[in-house]
Amino acid sequence: MGKHAGCLAPDKARFMDFFPAGAALTKLATGFVWAEGPVWFSELNELRFSDIPNNRMMRWSPVAGLSTFRQPSQRTNGHTRDREGNMISCEHGGRCVSRTYMDGRYEVLATHWNGKRFNSPNDVVVKSDGTIWFTDPPYGIISDHEGIRAESEIGKNQVYRLDPATGEVSVVADDFDRPNGLAFSPDESELYVADSGYARGHGFGFEEGRPRHVRGFKVVDGKRLAQSRVIAVIEEKVPDGLRVDSEGLLWISAGDGVHCYTPQGERLGRILVPETVANLTFGGFGKSRMFICATSSVYAIETARTGAQWP
């Protein structure tokens, strides 16, 4: 084990082995209001992410640097990629889940459940069977900061499963306060979902007694959730986006950085980040570089882990 920069705060000694010698947090780009939704395109050597209040989607590459990918962006939030590599996006402005093909074509995949509009889809993952799982808290409709103010039609903040082959949208969890980031375990036997209910949204502050934790579920028959348990309580503000590495460790956005947990709920350590973290993803060569969206800036750190997300 070599020397590391001071951004690493281990709870267990082995946490330091998760990073190469000299690993340090680097600021890649800044000037955003609320950076979110990082997604990596290895074939393009490119990161894309949202700047929600500025209604734009950005891209960054180590070769070309920073540029605007799409503006207006319908205030996209979280992104992921489907099994064909296309970009799947949650949109606050469109209150929908959309797909952007690699050739630039764009389509809306889902806007409603049970005849009612979604609140403001927040974050999304795609299962290996092609189904799209996403969360729908109200952060994009409670003010005009991250979307367009509106009443909730559904009246609940649920987690959904969308089958893009049929268009069918079904509820997989209806007992969240404000479901947020989510990720499958590497074998997809479990789904992890953050509840950020403690954060009431821009301008509304925090409310004691509300959830600020990540829950784990068993995935039953590939389409239902069971056996809910709390894995991690985030004392520093709330959990937001999260990712899983190839050995099943959870990397969770938190107020003071990125927290690493085992699926059993043991915290192994933290990457400390100078701004509140909203989301992260693994990318770069070998999916071992962690990209972190933190308020006004995007940061990166080399790890000795490998992201589990497709592709």
Residues lying near Mg ion in the complex (CB under 5 A) are found at 122-123, 180, 240
Inter-residue contact 287 to 300 (CB < 8 Å): no
**Which of 144, 161, 142, 143 minimizes the C-alpha distance to 152?**
142
Residue whose CB is less far from Mg ion, 89 or 288: 89
Closest distance of CB 77 from Mg ion, Å: 6
Residue whose CB is less far from Mg ion, 8 or 51: 51
Closest distance of CB 239 from Mg ion, Å: 9
Closest distance of CB 305 from Mg ion, Å: 21
Residue whose CB is less far from Mg ion, 122 or 303: 122
Residue whose CB is less far from Mg ion, 35 or 154: 35
Residue whose CB is less far from Mg ion, 195 or 240: 240
CB atoms within 10 A of CB 108: 14
Closest distance of CB 304 from Mg ion, Å: 26
| C-alpha to C-alpha distance for 1 and 9, rounded to whole angstroms | 15
- What does the angle CA 306 – CA 81 – CA 241 come to, to the nearest 5 degrees? 65
The Cα-based distances of 206 to 22, 81, 272 in angstroms read 37, 32, 22
Residue whose CB is less far from Mg ion, 82 or 240: 240
Burial class (CB in 10 A: 0-12, 13-18, 19+), 214: buried
Inter-residue contact 164 to 132 (CB < 8 Å): yes
Closest distance of CB 91 from Mg ion, Å: 13
**Which of 246, 240, 239, 234 minimizes the C-alpha distance to 282?**
246
Closest distance of CB 122 from Mg ion, Å: 5
- According to DSSP, residue 44 is labeled G
